[in-house]
Amino acid sequence: MIIATWNINGVKARIEGLTAWLAARSPDIACLQEIKSVDETFPREPIEALGYHVETHGQKGFNGVALLSKQKPLSIEPRLPGDTADEHSRFIEGVWDFNGQTLRVASLYLPNGNPIGTEKFTYKLAWMDRLIAHAKQSLAREEMLVLAGDYNVIPEPADAANPAVWRDDALFQPETRAAYRRLLNLGLADGLRASTDAAGTYTFWDYQAGAWQKNNGIRIDHLLLSPEAQVQLVSAGIDSHVRGWEKPSDHVPVLIELA
């Protein structure tokens, strides 16, 4: 089984690239972020034509997440628990049967948090606290769990081509990285880093200053696995080549394969 995550940065603008990638890679479950579409206008038809079931939690103009799956989920939860006043569409979670086991997969779009010292950074850290609480509760079920998405977190200096550039950015703040470590310390594993510690492994390249051409990237898209999912992990990788396609997202797909 292949599970992928991709911040698509506007699904309507990238639908041709998305369907081309789905047809070529054929993931069993694809988690999308920043779909920038309300549910009613999400371009589901060309995706469904490829055999995918579509679940969305959209928002007009920004944010928005989706789950695309070859098998219809048993259930869907469209919000991260912990704050009923939070109207941002940043989380959707589905449950599937995987060879007689429960598989729970979430697509999440963690807040950016910039600029530091504003309510946006406070919101980011509070959202991370909610995610940690939810993950702790989910892990107690002892199920296969994959928390996939754009975390807007650079975990380590090795996850940036030029760490010094990000020193004053919310993605690389000590508080941000500490919250990410607290999440991992619950017993989750970074699927990609469980497979490789290679340098120059990035998932995002800015549109400015030739970042893609210079490989001036950062790694902020992650798939975190519960112990029950970790034992099924076969491989992980990044489809970085799609960054070179016409009208690309500034992110690329990240994938894991489970046995």
Residues of each annotated binding site for Mg(2+) = 7, 34, 150, 152, 250-251
Work out whether strand 65-69 and strand 233-238 pair parallel, antiparallel, or are unpaired: unpaired
Q: Decide: 139 and 228 in contact? Cβ < 8 Å.
A: no
Known catalytic residues are 109, 150, 251
Q: Which residues are annotated as a binding site?
A: 7, 34, 150, 152, 250-251
Q: Decide: 139 and 179 in contact? Cβ < 8 Å.
A: no
Q: Who's near 250: CB < 8 A, 6+ residues apart?
A: 7, 9, 204, 205, 206, 207, 243
- What whole-number distance in Å separates Cα of residue 147 and Cα of residue 106? 5
Q: Determine phi and psi for 234, rounding to 5 degrees.
A: -100, -45
Q: Decide: 239 and 21 in contact? Cβ < 8 Å.
A: yes
Provide the terminal-to-terminal Cα distance of the chain, rounded to the nearest Å: 6
